[in-house]
Structure 1
Amino acid sequence: MSEKIYNIGVEATIEIIGGKWKPIILCHLRHQPMRSSELLKVIPNISQKVLTTQLRELEKNEIINRKIFPELPPHVEYSLSEYGQSLNQLLDLLCTWGEVNIDRRSTRGEAVTVLNRDNLA
């Protein structure tokens, strides 16, 4: 395996949890395990294909767990792994910063709406 070189530590973080969808997925999973259908409901602009890809990458990097329930019909549930839970403080800070930013922009007259404010705090 070749050596991976980063200029600064945040590059390693962004490599694992960066992008448009992963932080949003993780913010939802930090409160409770969810099925992919539930994630699709709370993240309406993500496609099933992209969600599946992002979940697989997060699972591969041991950030989330995938649990299969062998009942009829079978279903799969995703949750933060113990390692993934180490991101909770970072995710809380990102959510709080976003809320403050939205309030600031709103105060300045920008039309901004948060649909799931209570679910992500």
Structure 2
Amino acid sequence: MAQITKKRVIKRLPMLPAERALKVISGRWKAVILYYLFDGPRRLSALKALMPGITQKVLIDQLREMEEHGLVSREIFAEIPARVEYSATRLGLSLEPILLALCQWGQYHADELDERSHLADCIIRPRRATEAAPN
């Protein structure tokens, strides 16, 4: 079953590496979700509370897509009621310096257009290369 899913993802993703990368992280919420998962595992309700503008359906859909692409893992705890936590995988964590660079470029872009006052703070703490680098 896992092989079928993997083949389906690979078939659906573009062959050009830059286009593939953009496809995997594109979407209104994926970077924001990853941003919050960089700090550690979170439950669905905690993620929803951090992003009041997202609907639960969209949040679940985005998490499923990122799980399918290997960026996020989902752990189900055998408790009553069941507890589910989402966390960034090693592959997901490898995006942290890229999101930091995008954040910095977004600030630069806002500066160039004299719109910096409209931006939220961009707080991403880059990890040491050994922590973020995929094997």
TM-score range, shorter chain: 0.7 to 0.9
CA shift in 2, pair 1:111/1:52, >3 Å: same
Gap regions ≥5 residues in structure 1: none
Q: Take 1:43 and 1:28, find their aligned partners in 2: how far apart are those partners?
A: 10
Contact 1:105–1:112 (CA under 8 A) maintained in structure 2: no
Q: Take 1:83 and 1:29, find their aligned partners in 2: how far apart are those partners?
A: 12
Q: Number of residue pairs matched? A: 115
Q: Take 1:35 and 1:4, find their aligned partners in 2: how far apart are those partners?
A: 28
Normalised by the length of structure 2, the TM-score is 0.71
| TM alignment of 1:1-121, pairs within 5 A | 6=15, 8-102=16-110, 104=111, 108=114, 112-114=118-120, 117=121, 120-121=123-124
Q: Take 1:77 and 1:112, find their aligned partners in 2: how far apart are those partners?
A: 33
CA shift in 2, pair 1:72/1:83, >3 Å: same
Q: CA RMSD in A?
A: 2.6
1:40-95 per-residue CA deviation (whole Å, 9 max, x = no partner) reads 11111110000000101111111111011222322111111112121121122123
Normalised by the length of structure 1, the TM-score is 0.78
Gap regions ≥5 residues in structure 2: 1-6, 125-135
